[in-house]
A and B are shown apart, each in its own frame.
Chain A
Amino acid sequence: MDLAYLALLGAMLTIATPLLLAALGELVCERAGLLNLGIEGTMYAGAFSGFAVAHQTGSPWAGLVAALVVGMVAGLFVGLLTIGLGVNQHVAGIGTTLLLIASCDFINRLQYGGGSVPKVPKFELLLKDTPVASQYLLTYVAFLVIAPVVFVTLRATGFGLRLRAVGENPEAADAAGVRVAGTRYAALAIGGTLMAAGGAFLTLALLGSFTLNITNGRGWVCIALVIFARWRVIPVVAGALLFAFVDALQLQLVITSAFSGVPREVMIALPYVVVIVALAVTGRNLTYPGAYLQPYRRS
């Protein structure tokens, strides 16, 4: 029984990794005043480009780098639409997601004929045979490097202060000499890179391959997590762990006999429902970032 608990904990950390990375990316964007609904597509593009480049080169590292670049470009593309042109952020984000998913599926169909996709070399587990600690390098990096760095950067650096300032009150930030557009582009570039890293984790660590619809709404879960966390880093970590715990739990429960009567799909849907319930309970009377959804133009 103890072993089952440890397996559950280990699976929780693994499943939480892509969510944590992408949710931190979304958090960075939203703290700068930008709702990036391109997250689902950016994760998808990260997953696919990581897979495709790993397949071409035979190296998961090359795949990861490619995914990060694609993510950054996707973030800057959303920036061009929302910051440069001032397009409605909902429309720009959903449009970007649709465009990225359709493009990946198009290339996938061209390259691999839409049939079975090949296996690619994937990252190895570190500390094999140790319970819980046996994880992918990216999991360690996400929890021990990226989350603390985002936390400290937002809270204690000049860049973090400027980023929060353009998200709360761009007029005041501008008057104080902060380059509003530049800071927001930077936030989207960083955010997109993190989202794509989360997507690449799915193909290069978890699966070692690619399937259609691989992200399956995880991007939307991340948006919910950021709101649930009220735009703070530590609660985002907690939220990602909560979702991952429920997901890991359902994976364990479907193989136990007591739950054999429950349809698998109900179990898979469980974490989504938990997120909605968590939002319903904790999401009341929120204070959104001051300039949320607001484009900024000097008048």
Chain B
Amino acid sequence: MRRLLPQLVLRGREPRWLAPLLVLIAVTVVYAATAGPIRAAGANPAAAYERYVFTPLTNANSLTEVLLAATPLIFTGLAVAVAFRSGYFNIGAEGQFLAGAVGVSVAGLYLPDLPGPLAVPTALLLGVGAGVLWALLPALLRVRFGIDEVVTTLLLNPVALLGVQGLLNGPWRNSESGFPVTDDFGAGYEMPPALPGARVHFGIVIAVALALVIWLVMSRTATGVRVRAVGLSPRAAGFSGIGVKRVLFRSALVSGGIAGLGGACQVLGVGQQLTNEASGGYGYTGIVVATLGALTAVGAVLVALLLGDITVGAQNASLVLQLPPQMGDIIAAALLLAVVSVLVLRRYKLRRRPRHTTEVGAH
């Protein structure tokens, strides 16, 4: 019986059509897996997916909303990609994003009269600094004492959120309403819009420019080669004279800085005040973005745009079809798992089992 089933064997070169085909299979799996819950929620899966994917692209206004939703995801996706590329598993982008949000708020609240051209850059710098600072401890513990960064970066996420809540319930509570949100920052702190009249702000331009820089550094410079070498094989990189710990340490801090910049842009671009909802899990979604983007800068931008599209679509579907907006998060997570699962199969091909031989190999 078992002999009739085909066998998975390692393949040599992978044909060009295989990866797109596998991704298509993954998308189909995600669609099939989410169709049931969507139907259970009383909506038609095809109509729901049309809203998730296509409706946001049909008019100029919602297109700018897609860009707005994608902006924080580009930052966190790039942050995670830079760290993962070097083999440093920074799962703390969520906390570093929040740290960046706190950093800009320091500028906004204590330097309210800074003139326009100075205010935004100062605030962004503080945001980057705060992100780096939040990434510093796990990075130090990793390179000094070999303590697993996965755990320490993860644990600092709830601490960062508690820090934000502590500030908002304490010294930074709104002086007029008494709600746990900061006062509005000075007028100079508004991020200029990326397009006239739209909500999408200049942060998207910074994010795309940053992606270009990262692409250049990773693919065209010695630094990029070192980072990739450490990520592929720290031992081999060490033998060839690369300072592995230094590369890890710097990737970790750069990653934290990028996530911090993301939090900074988010606060300055949307609302100009710090709230408890400054990050709705952008740091965690950044892991999805970076992984689906194959840890490349260009890939991260494209996946962030896709997830931004689905986010806007999910808000729309929530209003029109009464589908809970969490379906957007389910799709993102399911897409991640389905794509990484099928892409593993890239290395294998199906073969008929040989006859008359006892089975060796295959699992």
Contacts and interface: CB of A to CB of B under 8 A. Distances in A.
A269 B166 CA distance: 10
A298 B361 contact: yes
B157 interface: yes
B155 A81 contact: no
A78 to B, nearest CB: 10
A280 interface: yes
A286 B341 contact: no
A286 B147 CA distance: 8
Given A87-B340, A217-B155, A284-B145, A268 B162 contact: yes
Most buried by B among A227, A269, A275: A269
Given A96-B337, A106-B37, A85 B145 contact: no
Contact of B345 (A85, A109, A263, A273): A85
A181 interface: yes
Contact of A265 (B89, B166, B324): B166
B330 A81 contact: no
Contacts of A92: 337, 340
Contact of A91 (B159, B163, B170, B291): B291
A264 B145 contact: no
B152 interface: yes
Given A88-B340, A99-B330, A284-B145, A217 B170 contact: no
B326 A109 contact: yes
A99 B340 contact: no
A81 B337 contact: yes
Contacts of B341: 81, 85, 87
Interface string B164-183: 01100110000000000000
B155 A98 contact: no
Contact of A110 (B156, B162, B324, B337): B324
B233 to A, nearest CB: 15
A269 B40 CA distance: 39
Contacts of A148: none
B16 interface: no
Contact of A223 (B37, B151, B324, B362): B151
B333 A99 contact: yes
B184 interface: no
Contacts of B157: 217, 220
A83 to B, nearest CB: 10
Nearest to B37: A106
Interface string B99-136: 00000000000000000000000000000000000000
Contacts of B198: none
B344 interface: yes
B216 interface: no
Interface in B33-73: 37, 40-41
Contacts of A114: 324
Interface in B319-335: 324, 326-327, 329-330, 332-334
Contact of A99 (B91, B150, B155, B334): B334
Contacts of B152: 224, 276, 279
Nearest to B164: A265
B146 A286 contact: yes
A85 B345 CA distance: 8
Interface string B288-320: 100100000000000000000000000000000
Most buried by B among A102, A285, A286: A102
A242 B90 CA distance: 26
Contacts of A298: 361-363
A264 B287 contact: no
B284 interface: yes
B158 interface: yes
B141 interface: yes
Contacts of B327: 106
A215 to B, nearest CB: 10
Interface in B341-363: 341, 344-345, 361-363
Contact of B363 (A90, A223, A297): A297
A117 interface: no
B145 A265 contact: no
B188 to A, nearest CB: 30
Interface string A234-278: 000000000000000000000000000001111011001101100
Nearest to B152: A276
B336 interface: yes
Interface of A: 35, 37, 81, 85-88, 90-92, 94-96, 98-99, 101-103, 105-106, 109-110, 114, 181, 216-217, 220-221, 223-224, 227, 263-266, 268-269, 272-273, 275-276, 279-280, 283-286, 297-299
10 contacts: A86-B344, A109-B324, A220-B157, A221-B155, A224-B152, A227-B151, A265-B163, A272-B158, A273-B159, A276-B156
